[in-house]
Structure 1
């Protein structure tokens, strides 16, 4: 996957911003902030699903594959503050997201979509 020159610095800024906010646990945290983090994650997950689906219908050389890769990175970054959230069967959101995005695990993808549904953001995912 090719990356444009401006993508790496922008991604670095996102990583710094995520690191600056620190880890967030749902236990005893600010419920409004948690809701915002969940909404952002589900929005980014849905954007990745849409980009991935579009890339699957186009030649490998197209920019759609680059967009899908960038969307995957954004979804992974959005997941970071929520990575320890429980999804199902003792698994975490971090584990399930990784399996869905990196390994193409459709069952893991279904579980993170269910997570978004349970959080009230079912319309943001596919």
Structure 2
């Protein structure tokens, strides 16, 4: 007889790995998009988002959902609010991104994320 519970260490590690993988993917996309932004002002002034923007938005949504799964499983530690930090990070808050990265570092998944900023 086995059951799935948030107390299952393997399941907890899988949720943490999933979150950190998605955070790293979002970081890669967001930072790549940010480096291409100066050219976005060129042209006739119309606001057209590059295709990378859609993928970055999808990655942001995915990492926020992963943070909610961590929160529901009570896997946030160190007194941080992983959902708020993640939402603020994808909104451009470097401090929040640093806290999210620190979460992955302390969870043992530091290789899945980049440094904040």
> TM-score when scaled to structure 1?
0.70
* 2:45 counterpart residue number: none
Distance 1:50 1:66 in 2: 14
Structure 1 residue runs of 4 or more that deviate by more than 3 Å after TM superposition: 84-88
Distance 2:15 2:60 in 1: 17
Distance 1:94 1:85 in 2: 11
* Alignment gaps of 5+ in structure 1: 1-23
**1:41 matches 2:29:** no
Counterparts of 1:1-126 in structure 2, within 5 Å, are 25=6, 29-58=7-36, 59=40, 61-83=49-71, 84-88=74-78, 90-102=79-91, 104-126=92-114
Distance 1:122 1:91 in 2: 17
Alignment check: 8 A CA contact 2:70 2:76 kept: no
Alignment check: 8 A CA contact 1:51 1:67 kept: yes
Q: What is the number of residues matched between the two proteins? A: 98
Alignment RMSD: 1.7
Distance 2:32 2:57 in 1: 12
Distance 2:58 2:66 in 1: 12
Distance 2:75 2:85 in 1: 10
Give the number of the structure whose alpha-carbon radius of gyration is greater: 2
Alignment check: 8 A CA contact 1:87 1:111 kept: no
Measure how far apart 1:87 and its partner are. 4.5
* Alignment gaps of 5+ in structure 2: 41-47
